[in-house]
Structure 1
Amino acid sequence: MDVSQLALLRELADRGSVTAVAAALNRSPSAVSQQLKTLQRQVGVELVERVGRGVRLTDAGRALADSSVRIATAIAEAEATWAAYRDDATGAVRVATFFSASELFLPGLLTRLKAHPGIRLEVEDRDVSQDDFAALAADYDIVIAHRSDDVLPPQPTALRVVPLVREPLDVAVPLDHPLAGHDRVTVDDVIRDDWIGVPVDFPLDRVLAAMAVRAGVPARIIHRTTHLPLIENLVATGHGIALVPRHTSRERSAGRFRLLPLTDVRAGRRIEALLRPDRAERLAVRVVLDAYIAEAARYGDEPR
């Protein structure tokens, strides 16, 4: 079997359509289809079947796609061993992250990577729904993702999941809020306020929704945005309260708004790195991942 043809099955499993695979690999859809047909003839088993206007992998195709992952990982391990022998951590490492994770990690990460001038870091902000981070791993070497406490990580067979930090979520209130003098609050204390929220199905939104269910009162959300500094500004100017990540917002809270821990609910988000297993073996990727882990260790009040 041709390794590159097997890799097409893996790409089809991850991306869902021949068109998406062709776009990712800079080939024509007809060329991808032809390669898949050639592989089918070689193995003598149907690997792809039509479903409506698209295609999907058969059980045999999925089994070979899984084998492709293991083959690619073994090749990457061999290449990494040779690169380590030559002390040659070089090349581009593409990272997808979300804005507040960049605030937490990126300055220190860039400082650490000065010791590795052969690595070219390419970072893009990709703030998506927590269920959509895993799909980004098809196009990036490292995906920095976050999820609420109640959500399980992606299946370990598909991706390597590296925990970085659990960041508590606090309630941000204006300095003149009736609760601003408290050390902590309960769900019932705050759920009936006006809220500045994030888009539906983002980790902070899931926590707020769980708080509303617990209290039996719907949360009154007057504005939604992914931009944390805007959320903080709206809170500071008295337009509502919000759930915000403690480590990220703490420095900007002084003299502007109060951060109040919740006493009766475990509110937090888990930040982790998602990687395809083969890309995780690249020496340059391992160096960048180790730098992320070292930066995350600075926030040691919550165990990784």
Structure 2
Amino acid sequence: MNGSWRGLDRAHLVLLRELADRGSVSAVARATDRTPSAVSQQLKVIQRQVGAELVQRSGRGVRLTDAGRALADGAVSVLTAWAEAEAAWLAYRTEASGRVRIAFFHSASELLLPGLLDRLRAFPQIALEFGDEDVGQTEFAPLTRDYDIVVAHRSDQRRTARGGLRVVQLLREPMDVAVPLDHRMAGRRSVAPADVIDEDWIAPPEGFPIDRVLTAIAGQTGATPRVLLRTTHLPLMERLVAGGHGIALLPRYTTRDRSAGRFALVPLRDERAARYLGALARPDRAARQAVRVVLEELTAVAEAVADPAEEG
């Protein structure tokens, strides 16, 4: 069967990219606002055009063949170059405009979103569409299928693979031990893991960056932390600490303004206690003019929030 990939248009490449990322015709149909039968028909058109089998039946669905995977991987480079060229032309002709879909987890939106909105007043043609996505650190990358930018976090102890994505590092936020004001450690300049491991803990769900720091403390001391409650809601954690119900690891920049008069934040020594915040994006979406602007302004906000003496 003869054919050529040169006859493929942008829509064909997008379809292959989505199938590679989402793994099923029905998921691609939902993402591209088509019916499954329309997606299947387009896949047949693409196969006839290139003269090769790109998908095979697999159970009740389909999967990409080696040829299909190769073409889908190549589509990423083509779509990225296309977006970069389009962005360069638009920058020459017009100001940045368009919709940008951005996902934050809760404490990141509290830390960064107000400043981002302030800075984007200079770009009235950019419309932000927000999503709240508080997930474990290995679950952020798949969200880039549905968002242009995903603000994610990871702990010092773990670096998560971001295959095929652009990653913009935003900031390193130290984790402090939050204790009640009348606690024996409230006035200390710092504490060691051995000083705190036997306390009652308020912690996030397992797999979240803050919990990974607590797990590292446990590994260093050889003791199992006594966790009374797990929650992703930082204000609840703060309130429970202030009420004397336990101690917690809390992100410094996010929490410090609310700690005064309520609870003490004590730095943790002898342990890599921090979380890293970053922005994830598909490279072709990151190349869009409006997305570029949002990423640049988000980076500027993060730089203003962080203390340079604490970075690294």
SS in 2 for 1:210: helix
Deviation per residue, 1:35-82 (Å, 9 max, x gap): 122222322322223333333222222211111111111111111111
Q: RMSD of the TM alignment (CA)?
A: 1.4
Query: Could you list the runs of 5+ residues in structure 1 that have no partner in the other structure?
Result: none
SS in 2 for 1:301: helix
The aligned amino acid for 1:182 is R
Aligned residues: 303
Conserved 8 A contact 2:157-2:272:
no
Deviation at 1:153, TM superposition (A): 4.1
Which residue of the partner structure matches residue 285 of structure 2? 279
Distance 1:54 1:214, change over 3 A: farther
Counterparts in 2 of 1:143-158, with a 5 A limit? Answer: 143-156=150-163, 158=164
Rounded Cα–Cα distance in structure 2 between residues aligned with 1:211 and 1:4:
50
SS in 2 for 1:297: helix
Q: 2:21 matched to 1:4?
A: no
- TM-score, with structure 2 as normaliser: 0.93
Which residue of the partner structure matches residue 162 of structure 1? 168
Deviation per residue, 1:221-263 (Å, 9 max, x gap): 1111111111100111011111110110111111111111111
Rounded Cα–Cα distance in structure 2 between residues aligned with 1:280 and 1:135:
15
Conserved 8 A contact 2:170-2:277:
yes
Rounded Cα–Cα distance in structure 2 between residues aligned with 1:150 and 1:45:
45
Conserved 8 A contact 2:213-2:272:
no
Runs of 4+ in 1 over 6 A off after TM superposition: none
Deviation at 1:216, TM superposition (A): 1.2
Which residue of the partner structure matches residue 311 of structure 2? 303
Rounded Cα–Cα distance in structure 2 between residues aligned with 1:210 and 1:86:
52
Rounded Cα–Cα distance in structure 2 between residues aligned with 1:13 and 1:149:
31
Which residue of the partner structure matches residue 57 of structure 1? 64
Which residue of the partner structure matches residue 35 of structure 1? 42
Distance 1:75 1:262, change over 3 A: same
Which residue of the partner structure matches residue 52 of structure 2? 45
Deviation per residue, 1:196-236 (Å, 9 max, x gap): 11112111111111211221111111111111111100111
Query: Could you list the runs of 5+ residues in structure 2 that have no partner in the other structure?
Result: 1-7
1:77 is aligned, of 81, 84, 89, to 84
Conserved 8 A contact 1:153-1:161:
no
